[in-house]
Amino acid sequence: MKKKIVAVVLVIALMACCLAVFASCSKKQTDAEYILGKGTLVCGVTLYEPMNYADDEGEMTGFDTEFAEAVCAKLGIKAKFQVIKWSSKEIELNSKYIDCIWNGFTVNEERKQQVSFTQSYLNNTQCVVIKSSNAANFTNAEACAGMRAAAEAGSAGESAAKGLTAEANVTSVAAQITALTEVTSGTADFAVVDVILANSMVGKGAYSDLQIATGIQLEAEEYAVGFRKGSDMVEKVNKVIDELLADGTLLTIAQKYGVDGQLITK
Confidence of residue 4 (pLDDT cuts 50, 70, 90): low
- Is 218:127 a contact under the CB 8 Å cutoff? yes
Q: Is the pLDDT of residue 176 over 80?
A: yes
pLDDT at 266: 82
Alpha-carbon distances of 240 from 6, 24, 118, 249, rounded to whole Å? 54, 30, 11, 11
User: What's the rounded Cα separation, in Å, for the pair 219 and 110?
Assistant: 16
Query: At the topology level of CATH, where does 31-121+224-262 sit?
Result: D-Maltodextrin-Binding Protein; domain 2 (3.40.190)
User: What's the rounded Cα separation, in Å, for the pair 141 and 87?
Assistant: 26
Average pLDDT over residues 177-194: 97
Same fold, 31-121+224-262 and 125-221: yes
At 192-238, the pLDDT tens digits run 999 999 999 999 999 999 999 999 999 899 999 999 999 999 999 99
Q: Is the pLDDT of residue 9 over 50?
A: no
SS3 percent helix, strand, coil of the chain, rounded to 5, is 45, 20, 30
Domain boundaries, the chain: 31-121+224-262, 125-221
Q: Which helix (H) or strand (E) holds 44?
A: strand 40-45
Torsion angles phi and psi, residue 192, rounded to 5 = -115, 115
At 87-142, the pLDDT tens digits run 999 999 999 999 999 999 999 999 999 999 999 999 999 999 999 999 999 999 99
Angle between helices 63-75 and 249-256 (to 10 degrees): 160
Give pTM, 2 decimals: 0.85
| CATH number 3.30.300.30 is the correct assignment for the domain at 125-221 | no
Closest CA to 216 of 190, 196, 178, 197: 190
pLDDT at 12: 52
pLDDT at 23: 44
H helices of the chain, where? 2-26, 31-38, 63-75, 89-94, 109-112, 156-164, 176-185, 195-201, 233-246, 249-256
Q: Is the pLDDT of residue 160 over 80?
A: yes
